[in-house]
Chains A and B, each alone.
Chain A
Amino acid sequence: MPAPILEVRGLVKRYTRGLFARRETFRLEAEFSMSESAIVGVMGPNGSGKTTLFELITGSNTPGAGSVLVMGRNIHDVKYKERDRLAIHYHQSYQVRRFRRTRPAFLMQPAGHDYPMVHLFDEPQFNTRDGYIGFMLDFFRRLRSQGRLVLVCLHPNEPYHIELMEEVCERFVFVLAGRVREYPDFRAMVEAPDVRSYLGRLAPLAAVSRR
């Protein structure tokens, strides 16, 4: 059986403060697997851990525990320069690559792919006035049709944000205070009480858009 495109196993990232008496200020935990190509919506408040999760998946941030496997390869064991051939992080319009080198690259394994298999779009600039939204959504669909996994992260603050996430995403991940939960579809996600609470004034609109 082929390896899942993305497998996040027992992932833990802790941030602490204090030189001697270390106090935990943030903790992210994640465990999920995505075996097939899909477009996955990632939502959650600012500061909930969405970008940290993306950084851990692309190998630009180091976990305290657990692992991220992309196409069966541990991203943190892949040569720094080749990690973007497995998973690539786009922040708004730009690609993000900052790798802290902790091991010599020649001891690490190659990516084994020539084009990223997992594409993580972090807060793409969706602006209804410039018309690029439609092209972006089509691009996500094209990547999916090519067998890639697409994660689109958005902190919605306009009704059309909800509309376009519902339109293009098949599955959802909700991140709240460092906890990562999966939902099989949009309906299941917006029915969760804490998601509805987070969406606030947008939640009723989300309910309407489902009818």
Chain B
Amino acid sequence: MALFEARGIHKRFGHQVVLENIDLSFEAGRLSGIMGPNGAGKTTCFNVLTGAFKPDRGRVIFDGEDITGRSPDAIARKGISRSFQTMSLFDEYTALENVLIALPEVRGRGFNMIEPLAMDGEAADRAAAVLSRVGLSGREHRRAGDLAYGERRALEIAVALAAGPRLLFLDEPTSGLGAEATARLADLVLDLKRDYSIVVIEHDMRFLFGLADTISVIHWGQVIAGGTPDELRGNKWVQRSMLADLGGSP
């Protein structure tokens, strides 16, 4: 049984149908990719899957439970975390503090929690461990706003990991990154893949083709193709494009 399923998702904004009859299925322990050109509906799809938007029709199933229309908080408590295409970090806080305030036990404390947390060695150790997992050891006490762009992307992922998710959604993680930083991020995601079920929405085909177990292609608000990277690579027109140069089996 799939860990996460979307069945017949339909979303309309006014007269605009943004998602039309979307079916998706993500297996546990796999990295599933969603790709599509700009304006295809990828981020809207992501927002529906993670609870930011309620679908007009269709169902979202996580681990056998119908979570359709639940709030993002409720969905997060079920074990689904997400990162954002646009950075959502607190620039004035350190990397450690950004992760600390994403820890479930810390979020439960509510307002004015940072100061007492400095004394909470256990939470700080957990946050530091998460930072280490994404390669940010030694950057714990840097302000998020002072980190390099690629490091900020990694910190975004660390914040998503802080909740200890069973399923991690990453929204266009390579957005704004150069080739070198994208390669480092690919290494990080490959490493995380050993421990997490991951869904990545991405327009960078190279990135996805190198990482994903399966890919769904979204365009015009619909799933227009799907399969493993090798299956998709088999398409004549894909072979004629720059994708023909990608790694993987011929």
Contact = CB atoms under 8 A, between A and B. Distances in A.
Interface of A: 80-81, 84, 88, 90, 92-95, 97-99, 115, 125, 128-139, 142, 164
Contacts of A92: 39
Interface of B: 15-17, 20-21, 36-40, 205, 217, 219-222, 224-225, 232, 235-238, 240-243
Given A84-B17, A93-B219, A139-B225, A130 B235 contact: no
**4 closest A-B pairs by CB:** A134-B237, A134-B235, A131-B241, A139-B224
B236 A93 contact: no
Contacts of A128: 237, 240-241
Contacts of B237: 128, 131, 133-134, 137, 164
Given A93-B37, A125-B37, A131-B242, A138 B235 contact: yes
A193 to B, nearest CB: 31
29 contacts: A81-B15, A84-B17, A92-B39, A93-B37, A93-B38, A93-B39, A95-B16, A95-B221, A99-B15, A115-B20, A115-B21, A125-B37, A129-B241, A131-B235, A131-B238, A132-B37, A133-B237, A133-B241, A134-B236, A135-B224, A135-B235, A136-B219, A136-B224, A138-B224, A138-B225, A138-B235, A139-B219, A139-B225, A164-B237
Consensus secondary structure, chain B interface:
mixed
A137 B20 CA distance: 18
Contact of A129 (B21, B40, B242): B242
A8 B39 CA distance: 31
B14 to A, nearest CB: 8
A60 to B, nearest CB: 10
B17 A132 contact: no
A24 B219 CA distance: 39
Nearest to A60: B15
A130 B225 contact: no
Contacts of A90: 220
A129 B204 CA distance: 12
Given A97-B16, A125-B37, A132 B217 contact: yes
A139 B37 contact: no
Given A128-B241, A135-B224, A95 B17 contact: yes
Contacts of A80: 15
